[in-house]
């Protein structure tokens, strides 16, 4: 099935692909070697810059920041999914005033920069840093997810809804039991992608003094006692952010695989009929 739309590469094409792959590998290794050379030349691997991470207080600071990041992300993700579902339902509503209001909210919050909303809630409304951060992330990501949900439901074949209505189902039942389950598979990659954006945007919390993971790294990187270990902090903080984003992607892949599983009720194996049975059936067909 993977080769239906294109021809398999021939010997010359495979050879050319190997050359391109080898050249790309050489370039990447050269960039990595050049980067390591610069790091060693600027003394980024000296003991003074890495000693800080051996102290319990520094480790607790990083763990506390990571916990605060996950806390803000969890609240923002739940709020974004809920708000996105509500706004999407409003945009799909048959009532025109409700549809217009939800459309206005979605377009407004999608157009507003996340940082502006966070600062407005924090400064103008005198909210706590966590509340301001979660509210800003929820309003922005929820409005984006509303469009994802609406387009996912609209991508379902129209006949599915018409058949459900013909069976006497109400609009809410059609949405919950027919359209939404089929749209989840199409929406899942976009949902996970937007949640990754929300996870990375939690780093904006350090601008309003929220003690999240990046804020903890900034405190360590600006410490003169450890010779300003900026690069070591980046080399520790960045892989953790990348790992969390990869974990979200893995969860999306796992969920998609579960949706593609075989039905619960599978046809049992039917034994092949014996030759005598076949001859009897042929005689009946001829007679």
pLDDT at 1 (0 to 100)? 46
Burial (CB count <10 Å: 0-12, 13-18, 19+), residue 119: middle
Distance between CA atoms of 75 and 130, rounded to whole angstroms? 10
Asked if 168 contacts 138 with a C-beta cutoff of 8 angstroms, the reply is no
Residue 96 CA: distances (Å) to CA of 180, 241, 263: 22, 43, 40
Helix/strand number for the chain, H first, E second = 12, 0
Give the orientation angle of helix 96-111 with respect to helix 56-91, to 10 degrees: 150
Distance between CA atoms of 93 and 101, rounded to whole angstroms? 11
Q: Would you give the distance in Å from CA 108 to the centre of its chain?
A: 23
CA angle 102, 148, 105 (to 5 degrees): 20
pLDDT at 172 (0 to 100)? 73
Q: Which CATH number fits domain 48-257: 3.90.1150.10, 1.10.3720.10, 1.10.10.1100, 1.10.3470.10?
A: 1.10.3720.10
What is the residue whose two structure tokens read 């339902």? 89
Q: pTM for the complete prediction? A: 0.77
Asked if 216 contacts 57 with a C-beta cutoff of 8 angstroms, the reply is no
Asked if 149 contacts 88 with a C-beta cutoff of 8 angstroms, the reply is yes
Residue 138 CA: distances (Å) to CA of 66, 210, 228, 278: 19, 16, 35, 67
What percent of the residues of the chain are helix, what percent strand, and what percent coil, each to the nearest 5?
80, 0, 20
Q: Which three-class secondary structure state does DSSP give residue 164?
A: helix
Residue 274 DSSP class = P
Query: What are the contacts of 223-226 at 24+ separation with CB within 8 A?
Result: 223/52, 225/52, 226/48, 226/49, 226/51, 226/52
Residue 207 DSSP class = G
List the chain pLDDT tens, one digit each, 287 residues: 444 555 677 888 888 889 999 999 999 999 999 999 998 888 888 888 888 888 998 999 999 999 999 999 999 999 999 999 999 988 888 888 999 999 999 999 999 999 999 999 999 999 999 999 999 999 999 999 999 988 888 777 777 777 777 777 877 777 777 777 777 777 888 888 899 999 999 999 988 989 999 889 988 888 877 788 888 899 999 999 999 988 888 887 787 677 666 444 343 444 444 555 445 555 555 55
Runs of H (alpha helix) within 92-126: 96-111, 114-119
Torsion sign over Cα 192, 84, 255, 165: negative
**Structural domain boundaries of the chain?**
48-257
The pair of three-digit structure tokens given for residue 107, joined into one six-digit string = 């377009």
pLDDT at 266 (0 to 100)? 41
Residue 69 CA: distances (Å) to CA of 60, 61, 191, 244, 259: 14, 12, 19, 11, 30
């Amino acid at each position: 099935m993977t080769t239906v739309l294109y021809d398999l590469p021939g010997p010359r094409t495979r050879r050319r692909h190997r050359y391109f792959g080898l050249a790309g590998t050489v370039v990447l290794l050269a960039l990595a070697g050049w980067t390591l050379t610069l790091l060693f030349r600027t003394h980024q691997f000296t003991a003074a810059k890495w000693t800080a991470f051996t102290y319990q207080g520094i480790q607790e600071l990083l763990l506390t920041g990571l916990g605060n990041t996950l806390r803000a992300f969890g609240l923002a993700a739940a709020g974004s999914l809920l708000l996105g579902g509500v706004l999407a339902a409003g945009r799909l509503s048959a009532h025109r005033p409700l549809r217009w209001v939800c459309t206005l909210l979605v377009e407004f919050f999608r157009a507003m920069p996340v940082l502006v909303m966070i600062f407005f809630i924090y400064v103008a409304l005198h909210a706590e840093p966590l509340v301001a951060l979660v509210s800003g992330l929820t309003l922005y990501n929820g409005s984006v997810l509303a469009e994802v949900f609406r387009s996912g439901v609209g991508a379902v074949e129209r006949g599915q809804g018409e058949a459900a209505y013909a069976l006497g189902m109400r609009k809410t039942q059609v949405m919950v039991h027919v359209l939404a389950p089929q749209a989840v598979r199409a929406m899942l990659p976009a949902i996970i992608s937007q949640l990754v954006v929300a996870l990375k945007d939690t780093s904006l919390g350090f601008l309003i003094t929220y003690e999240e993971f990046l804020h903890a790294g900034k405190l360590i990187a600006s410490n003169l006692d450890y010779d300003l270990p900026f690069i070591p902090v980046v080399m520790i903080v960045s892989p953790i952010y990348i790992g969390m984003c990869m974990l979200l992607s893995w969860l999306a892949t796992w969920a998609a695989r579960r949706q593609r599983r075989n039905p619960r009720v599978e046809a049992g194996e039917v034994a092949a009929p014996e030759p005598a049975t076949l001859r009897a059936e042929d005689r009946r067909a001829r007679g």
